[in-house]
Amino acid sequence: MPEKTLDVLFHETLKDIYYAERQILKALPKMARAAQSADTKAAFEKHREETEGHVERLQQVFEIVGKRAQGKTCEAIQGIIAEGEEIIEEFKGSPALDAGLISAAQAVEHYEIARYGTLKTWAQQLALNEAALLLDQTLQEEGATDKALSKLAVSAANVQAKNTA
């Protein structure tokens, strides 16, 4: 059995996030369609475009390590996305829908931030400097998205409060 070194772990985690990003790419249009406010829709649509870039960067990282771009089923992201779908079902037509969608999207971002933070550090340790740079670019975008969603969450909750006052 080959030794399970850090580069093996790096490659396995790369497959995990590659799978996750492609699932996210499918989930974001559904969330944009479900969202009630124009701002929330726009935020999801903007991040869908960014996510296309995340998939492309991962393909570049696979190339750098000389591996085929390939995903590995990640049950964690499946569960997080399923929670978002549950919110769409259960809060359809309710004033709290957008607040729920934003919270689901932030759970996705936090998953991604955890993965990219780890992968970037490992890439640095493996002296894969170009890969580390690519992973960091995506990490920055995930962080910025999370912050934008936090702001949106406050206004979405305000709208909800007004509607129910």
The residues binding Fe ion (CB under 5 A) are: 51, 54, 112, 142
* Closest separation in Å from C-beta 15 to Fe ion: 15
Which tokens go with 150? 């936090």
Q: Which residues of 110-140 are buried (b: 16+ CB within 10 A; e: fewer)?
A: ebbbebbebbbebbeebebeebbebbbebbe
Per the CB < 8 A criterion, the answer to whether 17 and 115 are in contact is: yes
Beta carbon nearer to Fe ion, 16 or 112: 112
Closer residue to Fe ion in complex, CB, 52/90: 52
Of 95 and 143, nearer to Fe ion (C-beta) is 143
Least distance between Fe ion and beta carbon 2 (Å): 30
If the CB atoms of residues 15 and 54 are measured against Fe ion, the closer one turns out to be 54
Q: Contact at 8 Å (CB) between 143 and 113?
A: yes
